[in-house]
């Protein structure tokens, strides 16, 4: 089995006449944690949606687990071991916390069941206290925990987090970063989009920066932190 779980090459993605992704190459290896960075509107979410099949690229290829999934359906891509936590979270507000979790429970692509209902509740004790609450009754931080927990219940090979801590109180954000550390330690590959580059680079093996739909940096956290001019230019820090 290839170590490359995601391999996208030459992606060109449009929204109508707007050319968003301009020939992007992007890959995720087994066990790798990637920080996907860039200012707003640079194509980060569009890249993730193109990988997940939510947006169809006009050119280029997307291989998932060695299979050509260019233009594939999101549910087929999810079955290959990808779990996606979208910006906006996407929980089912009319279902309880317990129902949101149980409905996604399944073994992973290799039959693994490392993330059980019980383990998710141990990891997110706030959810344990709110099992009967509807999704719409939760705070923003609790909704994010629920969405991550629901994704983990699929026992994915790759977990994609779009805007992992956006809009969350600092204390809740720290909890989410701790969970990201735990996910990395468990061996699950992950792609993390977040504006807090300091937290991202603490846990990522590799970082990719997008500017106007193109990759302008692809390297390790150590390499990125050695280039403060690049951080200032592309991330505005």
pLDDT in tens, 38-51: 999 999 999 999 99
Report d(CA 7, CA 29) in Å as an integer: 9
Whole-prediction pTM? 0.93
Q: How far apart are the first and last CA of the chain?
A: 40
- pLDDT (0 to 100) of residue 81: 97
CATH for 152: 3.40.50.300
The closest of 196, 223, 189 to 27, measured between CA atoms, is 189
Q: Residue 13's pLDDT is what?
A: 97
Cα of 34 vs its chain's centroid, Å: 9
Nearest alpha-carbon partner for 176 in 211, 136, 203, 154: 203
Question: In the prediction, which pLDDT does 114 show?
Answer: 94
Total residues belonging to the chain = 237
User: What 3-state class would DSSP assign to 150?
Assistant: helix
Q: Which residues pair with 217 in a beta bridge?
A: 209
Q: What is the pLDDT of residue 1?
A: 43
The pLDDT of residue 2:
60
Beta bridge partners of 219: 207
Q: Which residues pair with 162 in a beta bridge?
A: 193
The residue assigned the tokens 């993330």 is: 115
- The confidence score (pLDDT) of residue 237 equals 56
Beta strands in the chain (DSSP E): 4-15, 18-29, 33-37, 59-64, 67-68, 82-85, 158-162, 189-193, 206-211, 214-220
> Per DSSP, what are the bridge partners of residue 161?
85, 192
Tokens found for residue 185: 């330690």
- Residue numbers of the chain with a pLDDT score lower than 70: 1-2, 237
User: Which residues span the domain enclosing 40?
Assistant: 4-235
What is the total count of domains within the chain? 1
Q: What is the pLDDT of residues 71-126, one digit of tens each?
A: 899 999 999 999 999 987 788 888 999 999 999 999 999 999 999 999 999 999 99
């Amino acid at each position: 089995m290839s170590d490359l779980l995601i391999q996208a090459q030459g992606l060109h993605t449009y929204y109508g006449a707007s050319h968003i992704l301009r020939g992007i190459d992007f890959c995720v290896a087994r066990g790798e944690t990637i920080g996907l960075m860039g200012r707003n509107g640079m194509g980060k979410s569009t890249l993730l949606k193109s990988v997940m099949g939510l947006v169809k690229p006009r050119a280029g290829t997307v291989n998932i687990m060695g299979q050509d999934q260019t233009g594939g359906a999101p549910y087929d891509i999810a079955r290959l071991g990808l779990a996606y936590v979208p910006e906006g979270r996407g929980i089912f507000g009319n279902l309880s916390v317990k129902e949101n979790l149980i409905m996604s429970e399944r073994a992973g692509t290799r039959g693994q069941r490392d993330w059980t209902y019980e383990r998710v509740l141990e990891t997110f004790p706030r959810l344990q206290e709110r099992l009967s609450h509807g999704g719409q009754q939760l705070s923003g931080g609790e909704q994010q925990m629920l969405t991550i927990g629901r994704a983990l219940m699929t026992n994915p090979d790759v977990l994609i987090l779009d805007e992992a801590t956006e809009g969350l109180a600092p204390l809740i954000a720290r909890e989410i970063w701790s969970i990201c550390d735990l996910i990395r330690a468990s061996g699950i590959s992950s792609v993390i989009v977040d504006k807090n580059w300091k937290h991202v680079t603490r846990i990522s093996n590799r970082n990719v920066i997008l500017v106007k739909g193109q990759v302008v940096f692809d390297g390790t956290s150590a390499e990125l932190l050695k280039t403060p001019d690049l951080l200032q230019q592309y991330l505005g820090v």
